[in-house]
Homo-oligomer: A and B are copies of this chain.
Amino acid sequence: MKEVVELLNKHKLEETIVKQQDMPEHALVESLMYKRHQEAIKTILKGLHSADIAYILESLPVDQRLSLWEFVESALDGQILLDVSDAVRETLISCMDNNELLTATGQLDTDEIADLAPDLPEEVMEELLQNLNDQNRQRLQSVLAYDADSVAAHMDFGMVTIRADTSLGVVLRYLRQRGELPEHTDKLFVVDEYNVLQGVLSLKRLVTNNAEQSVASVMARDIVFFRVNDDVEEAARAFERYDLLSAPVVDEQNHLQGRLGIDVIVDIIRKKSDEERLSEAGLRDDEDLFSSVWKSARNRWLWLAINLITAFVSTRVIELFDDVIVKIVALASLMPIIAGIGGNTGNQTSILIVRSLALGIINSTNTTRLIIKEVVIGLLNGIVWGGVLGLMAYLLYHSPGLGMVMAGATLLNLLVAAIMGLSIPLIRHRMGLDPAIGTSVLLTAMTDGMGFFIFLGLAKLFLDTPH
């Protein structure tokens, strides 16, 4: 069991494999590649958890990844496809034929097939549906019909249902007969004869109460449950807030439909925060580190194009003040500073706002307070940093006028930045759009354009001696 812990990170993992094989580290990958030691590789793979194999596959370049993929026992294929990231899954599936895919996915649970469905060829999905029994086919079809962000699209069917009027002893006998429980079962769901949810009986309560007691007297009735159409991110927040491990999912008439587990929730939390960070930098998808250059480049282009357009527009402002720049060329080297510090403070504000919106802390009763606070901070920052920058400009160019213009422009642009950093995410949120996406592009365009305009405008007003 020590080994499993040791496999926690790739370096350690490689060491383990290398030690077992008695070969230098760099030779390992080569050996994987040239299919020497085929038996040795198979033996090693056999000793690994499917999650660890998924991990190794993710950190290999595509060609090596596909070579290793051939060695993986087909019994593990399905589980590994579930474990790898979307981008890597695509590469793996692309080199499998329909028969291999059918074998790989045939042993999976209905909810797991649903997770893979978007990536599977249509013929494979059709064949899979035919192979399922009626209940599972219905489940799979209904899960696929739900919105991808809904709770239903993420639920599993690993639930054990019992009746309220049985005794705990009977429940225990039923479970012993049944044998293995679904993964992560921490509670049993209590339903009536119409499959309407009555409550839940945790395994904890089952084992700490006397066998003669009835389920009804021991079960929890005041429980957190979700509806099929609830937003899964809100469900994730509820899991965090109430420290849930699993929760029942019901339809509008309270019929039990499935179960939401913490394992899925952890993936959603991780994925959501990843997505936000990637989208802030204009990366559309989770990129496979080793996807083709062409694919990676295209993934990044939309953002670069938008950035280019906004940059062009905001720098057109500079054009308006050609004449002042020619006279006072120091303006050219000072103006990027004003634009830069505006972009920075604006981003600080907007990231805090985006985060607070995501946590739901911001609402109509406290927005005014928040606006006042951020504007006051903008003012305070403007006075402090405007002073510093003004002084530096004065010391560098020995011009009190230039110092004053620098100070004034900094103060004003920091105010612009604070207001933009607040209002862009707030307005996007009010319009029902994701406040994280695009905020930083828009903001930078604003603070750049306004920064140039304010600084050069002030310089024209106060420093442009008439000729």
**Residues in A lying within 8 Å of B, measured CB to CB:** 1, 4-5, 8-11, 14, 25-26, 28-29, 49, 51-52, 55, 58-61, 83, 172, 175-176, 178-181, 183-186, 203-204, 206-210, 221-227, 230, 234, 237-243, 245, 262-263, 265-267, 269-270, 273-274, 276-278, 281-283, 287, 289-290, 293-294, 296-297, 300-301, 303-304, 307-308, 311-312, 314-319, 322, 325-326, 329-330, 332-337, 339-341, 344-345, 347-348, 351-352, 355-356, 359-366, 369-370, 373, 376-377, 380-381, 384-385, 388-389, 392, 444, 448, 452
The distance from the CB of A206 to the nearest CB of chain B, in whole angstroms, is 6
Kindly list chain B residues whose C-beta atoms are within 8 Å of the C-beta of A385: 304, 308
Query: A237's contact among B8, B61, B221, by CB below 8 Å, is which?
Result: B8
Q: Is B351 a contact of A175 with CB atoms below 8 Å?
A: no
Q: Is B362 a contact of A59 with CB atoms below 8 Å?
A: yes
The distance from the CB of A289 to the nearest CB of chain B, in whole angstroms, is 5
Kindly list chain B residues whose C-beta atoms are within 8 Å of the C-beta of A277: 273, 276-277, 351, 355
Kindly list chain B residues whose C-beta atoms are within 8 Å of the C-beta of A377: 293, 296-297, 300
The distance from the CB of A380 to the nearest CB of chain B, in whole angstroms, is 5
Query: A365's contact among B26, B262, B333, by CB below 8 Å, is which?
Result: B26
Kindly list chain B residues whose C-beta atoms are within 8 Å of the C-beta of A366: 59-61, 289-290
Query: A293's contact among B10, B11, B373, B384, by CB below 8 Å, is which?
Result: B373
Q: Is B308 a contact of A341 with CB atoms below 8 Å?
A: yes
A1-B223, A208-B176, A345-B304 given; A289·B243 CB < 8 A: no
Q: Is A239 a contact of B222 with CB atoms below 8 Å?
A: no
The listed residue with most B CB atoms (<10 A of its CB), out of A276, A318, A329, is A329
Instruction: Give 10 new A-B contacts, CB below 8 A, not counting A312-B337, A332-B335.
Output: A1-B222, A181-B207, A186-B186, A203-B203, A203-B207, A281-B344, A282-B348, A293-B376, A311-B337, A315-B337
* Chain B residue, CB-CB nearest to A223: B1
A-B contact pairs, 7 of them (CB 8 A): A5-B230, A25-B364, A61-B369, A186-B245, A273-B274, A289-B352, A315-B334
Q: Is A360 a contact of B5 with CB atoms below 8 Å?
A: no
A10 to B237, CA, bound (A): 12
The distance from the CB of A433 to the nearest CB of chain B, in whole angstroms, is 17
Q: Is A361 a contact of B329 with CB atoms below 8 Å?
A: no
A352 to B206, CA, bound (A): 47
A129 to B61, CA, bound (A): 54
The listed residue with most B CB atoms (<10 A of its CB), out of A176, A266, A297, A380, is A266
Kindly list chain B residues whose C-beta atoms are within 8 Å of the C-beta of A392: 312
* Chain B residue, CB-CB nearest to A30: B365
A223-B1, A333-B318, A336-B339 given; A51·B241 CB < 8 A: yes
The distance from the CB of A386 to the nearest CB of chain B, in whole angstroms, is 11
Query: A360's contact among B59, B296, B356, B364, by CB below 8 Å, is which?
Result: B59
A116 to B230, CA, bound (A): 34
Query: A242's contact among B49, B301, B314, by CB below 8 Å, is which?
Result: B49
Kindly list chain B residues whose C-beta atoms are within 8 Å of the C-beta of A370: 289-290
Q: Is B337 a contact of A336 with CB atoms below 8 Å?
A: no
Q: Is A172 a contact of B336 with CB atoms below 8 Å?
A: no
A333 to B339, CA, bound (A): 13
A33 to B419, CA, bound (A): 28
A315-B333, A344-B303 given; A175·B208 CB < 8 A: yes
Kindly list chain B residues whose C-beta atoms are within 8 Å of the C-beta of A294: 380
Q: Is B184 a contact of A208 with CB atoms below 8 Å?
A: no
Query: A11's contact among B9, B59, B363, by CB below 8 Å, is which?
Result: B363
A61-B369, A345-B300, A361-B289 given; A4·B207 CB < 8 A: no
Kindly list chain B residues whose C-beta atoms are within 8 Å of the C-beta of A203: 186, 203-204, 206-207
* Chain B residue, CB-CB nearest to A352: B287
A316 to B330, CA, bound (A): 10
Q: Is A325 a contact of B332 with CB atoms below 8 Å?
A: yes
Q: Is A311 a contact of B325 with CB atoms below 8 Å?
A: no
* Chain B residue, CB-CB nearest to A49: B242
